[in-house]
A and B are shown apart, each in its own frame.
Chain A
């Protein structure tokens, strides 16, 4: 149990276009989901916290107008990279909390974004 999926796993797009990444909790309801960004051989950097039915909370330095997050249901959060540029190329990972008493975050497999 506690499986998180992401779609797509890899996307290539042209500069100036928008890309949507989906994060789904497959076998549990996730009140809270998180979005991370990871550059090659580097650590995960938290971008935002997504709560179902409310606006996402962004970390300092993250452009909320560029990285739109929507948590429309208890099993789905989406990250839209708007007007993507080559510097947005990165590995994006989502995670979800199943149970606040358990405190474990379950991670998706990640999405590799390449902007040409």
Chain B
């Protein structure tokens, strides 16, 4: 079974600043995907960014980027130029290529201060 660990329950950041969320995972799989999802107060799950394990290049989506360290099984998310709308719970998730099931971490609540 896959385990996803998010060690930061809460993070607070000033508007326009940068915040980094940590995520580690444990797996024996070689073919997998990693995701960061955002869940705002509406509770709608929104895909922020994803990374294929076979790709060495770190994924980037506008102000969101990841630092994927495969050997260390680490997958951190950096939010640059934080905006008030970034306030949400962020979940790191692991997907095994074989069955497409998602395993989620416990989540990190991010609060952006004006």
Contacts and interface: CB of A to CB of B under 8 A. Distances in A.
Contacts of A110: 43-44
Interface size class of B (residues with CB under 8 A): 20 to 34
A42 B99 CA distance: 24
B100 A109 contact: no
Contacts of A97: 100
What's the dominant secondary structure at chain A's contact region? strand
B21 to A, nearest CB: 14
A91 interface: yes
Interface in A43-97: 43-46, 49, 91, 93, 95, 97
A109 B91 contact: no
Interface string B77-114: 00000000000010100010101111111110100000
Interface in A101-116: 103-105, 107, 109-110
Contacts of B106: 42-43
Q: Kindly name the residue among A34, A44, A46 whose own CB sees the greatest number of chain B CB atoms within 10 A.
A: A44
B91 A44 contact: yes
Contacts of B109: 41
B43 A46 contact: no
A25 interface: no
B107 A43 contact: yes
A107 B101 contact: no
A49 B101 contact: yes
Given A43-B104, A46-B103, A97-B100, A107 B33 contact: no
Given A43-B91, A43-B107, A44-B91, A105 B102 contact: yes
Interface of A: 32, 34, 38, 41-46, 49, 91, 93, 95, 97, 100, 103-105, 107, 109-110
Given A42-B106, A93-B45, 15 more contacts: A34-B101, A43-B105, A43-B107, A44-B45, A44-B102, A44-B104, A45-B104, A46-B101, A46-B102, A95-B102, A97-B100, A100-B100, A109-B42, A109-B44, A110-B43
8 contacts: A32-B100, A42-B107, A43-B91, A44-B91, A44-B102, A95-B102, A103-B33, A107-B45
